[in-house]
Amino acid sequence: MNKTQRDEIEAALKQAEAFVKEVKGSVGLPIVPDAKTGAATWYDQRELRLKYTVSVEKTRRFFEGLADGRIMATRCRRCGELYFPPQDFCSRCGSEDVEWIELSDVGQLLTFTVINVKPMSFSHYQDYTVGIARMPEGINVLAWVDGDPKKLRVGMKVKLKVVRRQPENYLIYEFEPVE
């Protein structure tokens, strides 16, 4: 996030806080209507900001795969259980002997929903669609779905692809409908 985006978010938060303060002063509760839905929303006065680091050393190949345009999963060599997102051990049999496999790029859409009430960290995005698709390997993958949600249908084919998500500028995977 660049300085301009951060400033815009800070300005929007200050405006919201001023409105909440006004409402709280008149009714005694920090409950305000959601800007999109009008639904009653509790606006907490406590601020929670988190930045963290998490080691991805044991699943580094997943991220290297994204950089190469591939989406990787792990399979237990002992019992054959498949994991996506990948993990470095088998929670089914306890083995740490896993192999990396590339997932197929076409699956079948099982369900989807449009997200229009977003957590604050996603509030800079327009409404977006997430879906779950069954891949030929037998696992379900959850991802954003690119395209018009009015044209999506349960059972349709979707392609799993690597994209660069903006404005964060990082690689992630998402689905797109197969025409």
Task: Summarize pLDDT for 114-169 with one digit per residue, the tens.
Answer: 999 988 788 889 999 999 999 999 999 999 999 999 999 999 999 999 999 998 88
96 and 77 share one domain: yes
Q: Which range marks the domain in which residue 124 is found?
A: 105-179
Which residue blocks in the chain are alpha helix, DSSP H?
Answer: 3-27, 60-67
94 and 110 share one domain: no
By residue count, the chain amounts to 179
128 and 87 share one domain: no
- Contact status, residue 54 vs residue 47, Cβ threshold 8 Å: no
More confident residue, 113 or 33: 113
70 and 25 share one domain: no
165 and 112 share one domain: yes
Record the pTM.
Answer: 0.73
Q: How many structural domains comprise the chain?
A: 3
Residue 127: φ, ψ to 5°? -50, 140
160 and 136 share one domain: yes
112 and 152 share one domain: yes
74 and 119 share one domain: no
Cis peptide before 119 (omega within 30 of 0): no
Which residues lie across from 40 on neighbouring strands? 33
* Cα dihedral: 103, 63, 127, 32 (round 10): 130
CATH number at residue 123: 2.40.50
| CA 120 and chain centroid, separation | 13
32 and 85 share one domain: no
63 and 110 share one domain: no
pLDDT for the residue 1: 63
Average pLDDT over residues 105-120: 94
User: Using one digit for the tens of pLDDT, what is the confidence trace for 7-26?
Assistant: 888 888 888 888 888 888 88
118 and 165 share one domain: yes
